[in-house]
Structure 1
Amino acid sequence: MRLSRTPKDKYILRVTAGPSYDEGTHVEVPVNEAAPVRIKSDLADIELNVRIQDYKGLPRGSPSTSPYFSTEPHASNQDQYSIAFRFTPLKPAGASEDDGGDDAGGGAASGIRAADLQFGNDFDRPIRDKLPPGFNYAMNIVKWWIDPGLEGDAYADKPYLYGPALSSFNVVSVGPGEFDESKGGLWFEEGGDERGQKVREMNGVPKESKPRMKWALSDANKEKWTWDYGQTYGIDFFNPYLDFANMAIRLPGFQLSVAKYLGAEALKNDGRLAHQLRYVLRNKVTGDTYLVITFALYLEESIHEDGTVKTANGTNGTTNGHTNGHTNGHTNGHAHGHTDGTTNGKLEDTHESSGTANGSGGGGGTDEDGVD
C-alpha cells in the first residue's frame, strides 16, 4: 500500500504476526494468499489469514485482493479487510486438573473465561498528541454502532482499546471450519461442527452472528462460555470501516483520513522505522498473549528492493537487531518457508512461526513503537 502525503513521503505496508509482542517471534504475513501462517506457542496453536482489499504492500508481488472479498456476505458489505484464524488454546503448565474449579491464572480450569479473553489494539507510546480532530466523536460511533463492548483509553501513556473476544469477533465457529482456496483460504460460518453446535445450544448461544455478539455483552451470558483448552475455534474479524488502501476511517456518517496525520519526520526524529497498528488477542487477567498482528507503515526509503527492511546499519531486520521473517527463508529459528499440513482431509500449505515467549504484560517488548 503506497500513500503520498507529499512527493517525498511515501509509505508501504507490511504485516507481521507472532505469539508475543517480541517482533523476533514474528513472521511476515503473505497478505491475500490462501495459505495460512501458523503461529505456535506454549499457550495456543493458530493458523492465520490476513486479507486487505486493494493491497499494494509487502511482500512485493502480493495479490491486490482475495476471492474472499467477492464472496458473500463480504461483497455486499464491501468489507475492506479480514483477520481470520483457527484458534486452539492450550492448557498452561501448572494449570489445575480440576475441570470444575478455578486455576491459579484466574481462568476456568478447562479453558479461558469469556470475560478474560480480549481482542483489540494497544500501543507502546502515547498517541494523544497525534489524535485527529473528531476522534472522540468517531469513538462514540464505534461503541454505539459497531462494538458496544469496547473499553479503552486513547489518552493513556500506553493507549489501548480492547473488547471481549466473544462479542467483538464477527464470526465464531466452535470447530475448525474449512479451507477453501476459491474463498481465499480459511473460511468460517457462525456456528460450528456437529459437536460445537450442540455445545452452543446447551449454553443458549444464539445461532446467528449479530445476536451472539449482543448476547455476549451480558456478564451473565459470558459466564456460560469458556474457550476450552484443546478445542479449535474458527474466528473471523472484518469490517468496511478501516480502509488500509487509503489509510482512512469510514464510519456511518463520519469519514477521516489518517494519512495526513502521519509524519515522516516523527519517525526519523525518534529513530523508528514505521508507524504501527497492532491487533492483540490476550488474557486480561494473566497478561498472556496468544496472537499479535502488526500492521506497519514504513517509509519506502526504509525498504530494500527485495522487500526486506533496512536498519540503521544497513542490514535487514528490525531496530532491535532481530532479523524479521521473510517468505523465502528461515530466521530466528522460526520456519517461514512452506510446511504441509492436513486439516479435514484437505492438504493445506502453511507458513509457520513458533515461539515460547508469552509476551505477558500490556504492551511491552517491541522496539518499533505504536502508531503516531
Structure 2
Amino acid sequence: MADKYVIRVTAGPDYDIDNHTVVPVNAPETVKVSTAHGDVELNVRIQDYAGLPRNSPSTSPYFSLEPHKTSNDRYSIAIRFTPKNPDGGDGGGISGGDLQFGNDFDHPIRDKLPPGFSYAMNIVKWWIDPGLDGDAYADEPYLYGPGLSSFNALHVGQGEHDPAKGGLVVEEGGDEAGLEARRAVGAPDTAKERMKWALKQDAKSRWVYEHGRTYCFDFFNPYLDFNDFALRLPGFTLPIMKYWDGQPLSSDGKPTHKPKRSHTLRYVLRNRSTADTYLVVLFTLYLKEDVNEDGSLKDAALKATKEDKEMARESGKISSSSGASGQEEEKGNNSKHEEDYEEARKHFEKLGVSKSHDDAAAPAAENDDDVD
C-alpha cells in the first residue's frame, strides 16, 4: 500500500500548516523561519526521494559525504538556529535540558501500536538515543530528547553552507569562539563523546544556548526509510505505514474506521519549560489520487490537511483565534499552497532536473494489510 501514497515535506514556526512553507527536499537552498523566539534555516534531505514537489532531486551530494556514505544514512534534518530573547534584551538563553527535538501527535495512537513496540523503543533508546523520553500510550503521545544528546552533530557557530555539498553541512565542533564556549562547560570535542556527556544532568544544566549566538544541528540516521516507510532497527523491522498516524476519532473518542487520506509524522524543535516552538517539520503522506499532476493538492487532500489542523487546534497546539474563518480561510489557504508549489516547481526547473516522478513510487509494503 505504500505505493499508493506520495510524500510532501513542509516547515514552519508552529503547528499551523497554514504558516508552513513547502520544503524543496534535497535542494541546497535553506528554508528560513523567523519568530520572536528565534531564527531558523533548514535543509531536509531524503535518499532516493520520489515525493513532492514533482521533479525533486532523488538524492543530495550530502549522502556522498562521510560519515553518511559509510553509514548509509537515509535522511537528514539540518538546522541553523539562533535563539532570540522575546523581550528584546541581551543575555540569557535556553538550558541544555530545555531545548528538545522529537515527535508528537494530537490524538491517541496506543490502539494502533504493534505487538513488540516497547521492545522496539528499548532498541531505539539503547542503540540510537538513550536521552529519549516520552509516552506513546498517552492521549497526546510524544517522544522528545534533549537536542544536546539527540543531535548527531552539533556546531557552535555559523557552520558551513556549501551548495556543492548539498547545503548546510554540520560538523561537530564550532568556530573559534564556539570551541572556547564548548570547552568552558566541559563539552567533549567529538560527537559520540558529547552525546554521552550530555546525558548527565550536570552537563545539561551547564550548557546554555545563548540568545544571539548561532548553533547548527544535524539529525540523521539509516534507520527510517521514507521510501518503503519502515523503521529498520538492529534485529527488528517495523512497517510504520500502519502505525504512522491514528485513525480520525468520533466525538465519543472512538475510531471512525474511515481510512485517512493523509498521514503525518511531525518533528518539533521546542522549549520544554516554556512550550515555545522554534520549528515544526511535517512529513505528510497523501494518496496519489488526491494530488494533481503538477504536485498541487486536490480538494480531498486539502480537506484531510484541514482535518489534521483541527485536531491540532483541539489539542491546544494551535490557538483558536489563529487564521481566518470559513470560505475566506479556505480560499486563502488554497492560494498559499498553489503559490508554494509554483515557487518550488520553478526552482527545480532552474536546476535542470527533468526526470518526472509522476509514476515513481516507493516499494510497496510486503502485505497490503499493513495499512488501514
TM-score (norm 1): 0.79
1:30–1:62 Cα contact (<8 Å) kept: yes
SS in 1 for 2:145: strand
Asked if residue 284 in structure 1 is aligned to residue 277 in structure 2, the reply is no
Structure (1/2) with the larger helix percentage:
2
**Which residue number in structure 2 is paired with residue 60 of structure 1?**
54
1:300 to 1:166, Cα distance in 2 relative to 1, 3 A:
same
State the Cα RMSD in Å. 3.0
Q: Deviations over 1:168-223 (max 9, x none)?
A: 00011001111111211111110111110111111111000010001111011111
SS in 1 for 2:121: helix
**Which residue number in structure 2 is paired with residue 368 of structure 1?**
none
1:87–1:233 Cα contact (<8 Å) kept: yes
1:317–1:323 Cα contact (<8 Å) kept: no
1:238 to 1:284, Cα distance in 2 relative to 1, 3 A:
same
SS in 2 for 1:259: helix
1:252 to 1:329, Cα distance in 2 relative to 1, 3 A:
closer
1:327 to 1:39, Cα distance in 2 relative to 1, 3 A:
farther
Aligned partners of 1:123 and 1:264: how far apart in 2?
9
1:310–1:316 Cα contact (<8 Å) kept: no
Asked if residue 111 in structure 1 is aligned to residue 93 in structure 2, the reply is yes
SS in 2 for 1:323: helix
1:328–1:337 Cα contact (<8 Å) kept: no
Aligned amino acid, residue 81 of structure 2: F
SS in 2 for 1:172: strand
Which of 143, 149, 154 is the aligned partner of 1:167?
149
Q: Deviations over 1:198-257 (max 9, x none)?
A: 111111110000100011110111111101111111110000010111101111121122
Q: Deviations over 1:333-361 (max 9, x none)?
A: xx98999xxxxxxxxx9xxxxxxxxxxxx
1:307 to 1:338, Cα distance in 2 relative to 1, 3 A:
closer
1:254 to 1:317, Cα distance in 2 relative to 1, 3 A:
closer
SS in 2 for 1:45: strand
Post-superposition shift, 1:43?
Answer: 1.0
**Which residue number in structure 2 is paired with residue 42 of structure 1?**
36
1:33-182 alignment to 2 at 5 Å?
A: 33-93=27-87, 99=91, 110-182=92-164
TM-score (norm 2): 0.79
SS in 2 for 1:280: strand
Aligned partners of 1:254 and 1:315: how far apart in 2?
35
Unaligned runs of 5+ in 1: 5-9, 100-109, 340-348, 350-370
1:31–1:63 Cα contact (<8 Å) kept: yes
Asked if residue 243 in structure 1 is aligned to residue 254 in structure 2, the reply is no
Which of 262, 275, 279 is the aligned partner of 2:263?
275
2:28–2:168 Cα contact (<8 Å) kept: yes
Post-superposition shift, 1:145?
Answer: 1.2
1:308–1:316 Cα contact (<8 Å) kept: no
Tell me the number of residue pairs that the alignment of Structure 1 and Structure 2 aligns.
Answer: 321
Structure (1/2) with the larger strand percentage:
1
Aligned partners of 1:183 and 1:249: how far apart in 2?
27
Which of 274, 296, 308 is the aligned partner of 1:308?
296
Asked if residue 21 in structure 1 is aligned to residue 24 in structure 2, the reply is no
